[in-house]
Amino acid sequence: MASIDPSRKLLTLINVVEVDPDKCDEVVKMFVDATAAVMSGLDGFVSSSIHRSLDGTRVINYAQWESEAALEAARNNPDTHIYYEQMDAYAKSYNPMLTTVIDSQLHK
């Protein structure tokens, strides 16, 4: 199971994809299928978790990579290009943010 652990110093990519609500389920399926078919086998890939906003206007990919170099290599891998082309075709906008986890707290 994917876990959020500040001590691991992973790169966390949070990509907020704006979609037409009537296309939301298709975009979710596209992300899930692309992760299973291509992304999850790439070097440096750690996890990808697909979120759907309750109002259907956003699909959010919360993905963990070992490093920026690994993510960059994935982007340059021809096997992933169909995935980025599909995102371009479906998304009204998208905003991939490269982040680091600073802190994580559970219920106390």
Q: Where do contacts with its own copies occur on this chain (CB under 8 A)?
A: 1-6, 12, 14, 16, 28, 31-32, 35-36, 40-41, 45-55, 58, 60, 62, 97-108
Quote the least distance from Cβ 43 to its own copies, whole Å: 9
Closest to its own copies by CB, 49 vs 80, is 49
Query: Closest Cα partner for 82 from 23, 42, 35, 49?
Result: 35
Could you tell me the smallest distance in angstroms from the CB atom of residue 59 to its own copies?
9
Select 81 or 96, whichever has its Cβ closest to its own copies.
Answer: 96
Q: Which uninterrupted H or E stretch holds 58?
A: strand 58-65
Q: How far apart are CA 67 and CA 10, in angstroms?
A: 6
How far is C-alpha 73 from the chain's CA centre?
15
